[in-house]
Structure 1
Amino acid sequence: MARRDDGHASRINTHAAPWARAPERPSPRAGAARGRRPEEPQWPEGSWWSEQPGWDERGRRRRREPTRRDVRRRERDRTRRRQQRARRSAFRTEPPPAARRRDPARGSGRRPPARPRPGPKATPRRPRLPTDRIGVGALVLSAVVGLSLLGIAERTLLDGRPIGTTESVASGKGLRHPKGHATAAPGAPHRPAQRPGASGAPAAPARPDAQALTAQVRKATLAQRGAAARLAYGAAPARAPIVAATRTSDDGTWVFGTTAVPVPPGSDADPEIAFFAARWTGREWRIGLSGATAFGTLLGAMPATVMSASEARALRRYGALSAGQAAAAVNGTGPGDGLMLPWKTGTSWTMLTAGPASGRRPLSALAFAGGDGRVLASGAGRLYRFCGDGPGPALLMVVHASGVATTYDRVRSAAQLRDGSVVGRGDPLGRTGTVGACGGAPADRAEVRFDLRRGAAPVPLDGAVIGGWTFSERAKPLLGFAERGLLQVLPGGLIANLGAVPAADPPPSSPAPGGAPDAGAGPAGDPSPSATQNRSPSGANTQQ
């Protein structure tokens, strides 16, 4: 029997029979073809349907072949998805092998359950902490308490009290204030202390500045001793003065020390040295160098914790000594100190002076060399050190009771005594050396450079009596020598240290009238035991 064509020739509505359904889309899965009709419908011959293309192609879009662009886009999408999966799997934490369980669905033909997709939700949540439960009220309360404590601390500082000394008003106990703050009476109105620098309040005094003191002492040294240093050195000083603060008060307002103008490397002159005293006035330093009036004034007001009264008197006498007083103290016309030569009594050393080529006075560079090399104090006094206090060479000074001072330069292994220590005549000071403590040209052999000084300038050695000898200078020819009675010692000759004895020998006794002169007596007799040989630089010995 022929089938009835109850459909309408329309592409939109085919009016097909209910059983003539379009086949399902092909699927790669095995069960997708289930329910498909095994045979195609047959249309009557000569009907309109038989002349149309296959019924399964009606209403479909014709598939086109993929282009190269489509292929590249698919590959790019596939690669991007693969990279995303790799990045997500990198953050996974795989369980250890022992903790892995066998999936019961594997091998049973069933599809395994899908794993959760990695992401922020896959991260394990941390446990809740007590701070998570802090509310807005707690935060506001913390801020209020902090601001209150800050206000209390600021109020305490403005009132001038240290933090932590506040106490309950109900306790009724008085507060123990630090030194300088009075305790207010109960019930009295509180007056906050004024801050330094406020209107009507004096500013706090500045603290002493050690660097400013050093700069000021150097400036004063060059102003007062610079001209003499240039004249003695033959050139301007190449370095700044060497300043050393040897003593300072506990509060730092009083300082005592030494200063020296360094000697250039090519000069063999004695350095220009001086003491200084300084006081901090609250705004600036007031200083004075030895030889100036301010030096004695400051020493007179210096506290006993810094300098004793006896030491201050000795230094004031040294600083105020005039040239005439110094000459009388060393030439025997006035009270002297009984000075001896700076080595062991009874032994002889070589005497050296400045040469004629230097253009200076011969005795301005008096030095002694030889013997056992031990340098001794020429007289009793107080010992001071210039140009450093280390183990290197030292320039030592002994200030004697008359106000005259003896200096000893190029001394090595100096005695480690405190500045201002009392030494006696003959006490060891060190050993001879070749290098000056304050610079200058080195010596050819170990020696001790000897000189006399007062507060303002050196004391000339011409006419000085030291160790039983009188030192003198002669202009034509320019020469410095030592003499004792009829004996003379020229530069380069040996001179004996006779100790603290007068320079003149007792006059010889006159012979009896008509009698023959005895051996060893009278002008024609042998020289006195105190006579020494005069060894000239050429090596010839002459008996004076």
Structure 2
Amino acid sequence: MTPPTPRFLGLSTLALTCAAALVATAGTAQAAPAPAAPELAAADNVEILVEPEVSAELPGVRGSGSAEEPLADAVVADVLAEQGAGIAALDAQDKDVRVDIREASDGSAFGVAIVAVPVGSEEAPEAWLFAADHTAQGWEVGLEGSAEFSDILGGSDLLDAEQREAVATATDPEQDVTAATYIGVGLPFAIGTSMIMTGGPHGWGSGRPYSSVDFAGGNGQARAARGGYAYSLCTGWTRVIHDNGYSTDYYHLENYQWLPGNNVGVGHYLGTQGNSLCAGGSTTGAHIHFGLRAYTDPNAAGWYVPLHGRTLGGWTFVEGAAYGGYVYRNGVGTVYPGGSVYNYGF
């Protein structure tokens, strides 16, 4: 499967009701009001991506306008709520919102929402899977990490049954997961091989939590740190949703394998270390930007969580200043940024 082709969609014009309609008699049948035209979906910094065959499966709208606009409008509204900012504020920061509608069936939809940042920015892009149900009131949307996402996805006919049930369960913020420093996740390269930790624990973007670490060298290949369902968020950014309450992100990848929800095993090839910026941000030198997310953390459900104190690939991470810190393994020693880290698995 190849990435969908973007379609930029405009705002439909609403017809104004003439004044004579106000004097209609009580016995005259009243037409049902037309749905309000989407406002957010038509913003200059909103991009809707959808294949024609997917668009054809979306519930239609009366009058002019496309079926994907109301869905995109609802998705963007949820994204803005997560951002705590309006669409104009994002535009002022040169940030774009992409709504990539990938599946649609029987009044349900599934896809990816991305807030892209300018290339060269110290900020990082943000992304969520989304699930949506069409109701009499319009589209109800749940972003990944929310109870709504798991409920909508679990109750829909989207995706195949095994994938749908696994992803809905794995991303449920109310799942029962035992808190432990040993989390059953490895490192983003093959078990039994080594790479250079070029940057110790730091933020996915410029701030906390220090959820991310950079690796380079070795054979340069990025591989799944644990099995799960792998989603290409854009060409160079993959998220693997694991079955243990965590997911892992891999950014800047080149020689990229497009994965639209494939069930992959530990060590599955994702791409190679690179400088790809498919959703913006910055990079200095080819590397794998590896981030950890959790769904059961009450303070950050479905969001990046600190590496500090957690054991991945047989090493326990300790944060210091951003990109500093170190990893240690009892009986082996301590590795600081610039040193070689061996992946012991999980």
Aligned 8 A contact 2:199 2:323 in 1? no
Does the 8 Å CA contact 2:133/2:139 hold for their aligned counterparts? yes
Q: For residue 376 of structure 1, what is the aligned residue in structure 2?
A: 223
Alignment match, 1:230: none
Q: CA deviation at 1:364?
A: 3.8
Q: Which letter maps to 1:462? A: H
Question: 1:403 Cα deviation (Å)?
Answer: 2.3
Distance across 2 between alignment mates of 1:264 and 1:309:
38
State the distance in 1 between where 2:123 and 2:211 align.
Answer: 8
Unmatched 5+ stretches in structure 2: 1-27, 36-58, 62-66, 296-301
- Residue 254 of structure 1 aligns with an amino acid whose one-letter code is S
**Segment of structure 1 superposing worse, 293-302 or 306-315:** 306-315
Q: Deviations over 1:105-150 (max 9, x none)?
A: xxxxxxxxxxxxxxxxxxxxxxxxxxxxxxxxxxxxxxxxxxxxxx
The alignment's TM-score, normalised by the length of structure 1, stands at 0.46
- SS of 2:117's partner is coil
Match of 2:241 in 1: 399
Answer whether contact 2:326 2:336 (CA < 8 A) is retained.
Answer: yes
**RMSD (Å) for aligned C-alpha atoms:** 3.4
- TM alignment of 1:72-83, pairs within 5 A: none
Shift in Å at residue 260 of structure 1?
Answer: 1.6
Question: 1:71-114 CA deviation, whole Å, 9 max, x = no partner?
Answer: xxxxxxxxxxxxxxxxxxxxxxxxxxxxxxxxxxxxxxxxxxxx
Within a 5 Å distance, the mapping from 1:82-161 to structure 2 comes to: none
1:339 aligns with 2:185: yes
1:451 is aligned to 291
Is 2:166 the counterpart of 1:314?
yes
| Aligned residues of 1:395 and 1:408 also touching (Cα < 8 A) | yes
Question: What secondary structure sits across from 2:73 in the alignment?
Answer: helix
The CA deviation at 1:298 is: 1.1
Percent of paired sites with the same residue? 34
1:481 aligned partner:
326
Deviation, 1:446, is 1.2
Is the Cα–Cα contact under 8 Å of residues 354 and 361 in structure 1 kept in the other structure?
Answer: no
Aligned to 1:218: 76
- TM-aligned CA deviation for residue 270 of structure 1: 4.1
User: Deviation at 1:369?
Assistant: 0.6
Instruction: Say if 1:444 and 1:271 are closer, same or farther in 2 by CA, change over 3 A.
Output: same
Paired amino acid for 1:366: V
- 1:497 deviation in Å? 1.7
CA-CA distance at 1:279 after TM superposition: 1.6
> 8 Å contact 1:379–1:425 — kept in the other structure?
yes
Structure 2 distance, partners of 1:323, 1:484, is 30
Q: Does the 8 A contact of 1:469 with 1:482 survive in 2?
A: yes
1:248 aligns with 104
For residue 407 of structure 1, report the CA deviation from its aligned partner. Answer: 0.8
Q: Are 1:353 and 1:364, in contact at CA under 8 Å, matched by a contact in 2?
A: no
Aligned match of 2:7:
none
- The residue number in structure 1 matching 2:3 is none
Distance in 2 of aligned mates of 1:375 and 1:277: 28
5+ residue gaps in structure 1?
1-197, 228-232, 388-392, 501-544
Superposition deviation, residue 363 in structure 1: 3.9
User: How far off is 1:204 after superposition?
Assistant: 11
Q: Which amino acid aligns with 1:396?
A: T
Deviation at 1:351, TM superposition (A): 0.7
Match of 2:319, SS?
A: strand
Contact kept in structure 2, 1:354 and 1:360, CA below 8 Å:
no
Q: Counterpart in 2 of 1:495? A: 341
Bigger RCO of structures 1 and 2 (CA < 8 A, at least 6 apart):
2
Matched residue pairs, number? 279
Indicate if the aligned counterparts of 1:362 and 1:479 stay in contact, CA closer than 8 A. no
The structure with the larger Rg is 1
Displacement of 1:268: 4.0
Which amino acid in 2 is paired with 1:317? T
Question: Whose strand proportion is higher, 1 or 2?
Answer: 2
Shift of 1:398: 0.8
Structure 2 distance, partners of 1:471, 1:353, is 12
CA deviations 1:271-327 (Å, max 9, x no partner) are 322111112224521111122232222123201xx223332333223433369948x
Counterpart Cα distance in 2 of 1:483 and 1:439: 32
Letter in 2 for 1:400: H
Change in Cα spacing, 1:323 to 1:483, as seen in structure 2 (3 Å) is: farther
Stretches of 4+ moved more than 4 A in 1? 198-206, 322-326
